Amino acid sequence: MARKRYRNRGRSKGSTQLFSGPFVLICLVLFVLYHVFLGILSFFDWLWHGIEKVTVTQWVLILAFIFVSIIFVKKVKSNIRQRSREEYERALREKLKIEGHIELLKKSDPFDFERFIANVFTLKGYETTVTRKTGDGGKDIILRKGDEIAIVECKRYNSPKVTRPEIQKFHSAILDTRAKEGFFITTGVFTKPAVIYVVDKPIHLINGEGLRQLIAEVSDKLGTSD
């Protein structure tokens, strides 16, 4: 009999622990949620009665304040974008001054040369995207200005000439991309057949001397010099 009473006492103790732990916690959470819900209802009730008391004149003033605030925020954002753009162009101008010499460009990494050319076109008002190093489809840079697309192919050569087959391949890339025009840029020169090939095509050939002039043009436009 004593053992049986001991077992009953054990079950009673376990039941007490069950209700004193999770049960109390659940009740506490429900209590908090209930009062939060009441608070939300009270807030919306206060807000609704407050709105009912707002006069037409006050509504006009509120709407005018919201309108002025929107214009002010847009102006601030515009100024921030303008400053960011000016700082970005200033950094690119410094980069042009340091790296924009043909002899240095001839010795640069081909991918660095592509990024440099992309910066030049950025300063000319284009949105530029440098393509991946391999499998670029015959284009190193994609240019966008409004709804128009153009592409650029870059060849950092010390001495080789760009031949007609290379320009023909570039022309195919222009057609495949449905670009308005293309710029083939090299630190070297183009062969005579390559120059003749582009006479009636939307392709601009820019050799080493032409690239030097392009850099000078961008620098002068932005108030800098080599």
Q: pLDDT, tens digit, for every residue of 48-103?
A: 777 777 777 877 887 888 888 888 888 887 777 777 766 766 666 666 655 557 77
End-to-end CA distance of the chain: 107
Evaluate whether 92 touches 119 at the Cβ level (below 8 Å): yes
pLDDT at 213: 87
Tell whether pTM > 0.75.
Answer: no
Q: Which residues of the chain have pLDDT under 70?
A: 1-21, 85-86, 88-100, 134-136, 158-159, 220-226
Order the strands of the 203-206 sheet from edge to edge. Answer: 127-130, 141-145, 148-155, 181-186, 203-206
pLDDT at 200: 93
CA separation for the pair 93, 220 (Å, rounded): 10
CA separation for the pair 112, 66 (Å, rounded): 48
pLDDT at 48: 78
Evaluate whether 138 touches 155 at the Cβ level (below 8 Å): no
Burial class (CB in 10 A: 0-12, 13-18, 19+), 175: exposed
